[in-house]
Structure 1
Amino acid sequence: MEEKMVRTQVYLPRDIYEQLKERADKEGLTMASQIREALAQYVVESKEEDKEPVLTKDDPIWDMIGMGKSDITDGSYNHDKYIYARDWDLDDEEA
């Protein structure tokens, strides 16, 4: 069963119109099908961007668990150093 379409009208910049027309002629596509395809892709990508980030088991953030029980006394200042195991010389950056 074919999906029911809703008619709409859109104004395009001349250069986009020309590119769509050229591609349509070259590849045997309609301009409408190209626009539908681009909009469908845009909607899918927008939904993906709206999703909350997912923590994985290997995310270094989990290494923070138990950090308060360690001898680390500067964790609030050098958290990246301890979480991501990067040996930055943070004192030089302040100078």
Structure 2
Amino acid sequence: MLIKEPIAVYLEQDKYEALKTLAETRHVSLDELIREGVERLLDETPDETPIEEDPLWNIIGIGDSGLGDLAENHDKYLAEIYSDTHEPHK
């Protein structure tokens, strides 16, 4: 069972009434409606993990081409590979 922490929230009267009406329409408690809203907000919020800590960061440098200028001249190298494996157009 998950432990839930109680909190107190102060809302403007119109917001409170709108939430109360929505909860009644959905046949859920006001607490449940607020928990659902918090869950959605947390799901939609991007992860704030620094990019250097992202596991995908580890793929950088795993393929060593031996070419020191590959990043700058990748188009040239791709064209060479293509021309070596394909016949010229007539």
* TM norm structure 1: 0.48
Cα distance in structure 1, aligned partners of 2:15 and 2:40? 17
Higher relative contact order (CA 8 A, sep 6+): 1
Partners of 1:66 and 1:13 in 2: CA distance: 57
Aligned pairs, number: 60
List gaps (5 residues or longer) in structure 1.
56-64, 71-95
Match of 1:75 in 2: none
Tell me, which stretches of 5 or more residues in structure 2 are unaligned? 58-70, 77-90
2:48 matched to which residue of 1?
Answer: 50
CA distance in 1, matches of 2:47, 2:4: 26
Q: What CA deviation, in whole Å up to 9, does each residue of 1:35-70 have, x standing for no partner?
A: 111112212322x25254x79xxxxxxxxx225xx8
SS in 1 for 2:15: helix
- C-alpha deviations, 1:8-60, integer Å up to 9, x for none? 111011121111111111110111111111112212322x25254x79xxxxx
Structure-2 separation of matches of 1:31 and 1:66: 58
- Which one-letter code corresponds to 1:19 in the other structure? A
Larger Rg: 2
Distance 2:47 2:3 in 1: 27
Q: Percent identity?
A: 23
Residue in 2 that maps onto 1:28: 27
Q: Which residue of 2 aligns with 1:39?
A: 38
Of 66, 75, 88 in structure 1, the residue corresponding to residue 72 of structure 2 is 66
- Matched letter for residue 66 of structure 1: E
Where 1:39 maps in the other structure, the secondary structure is helix
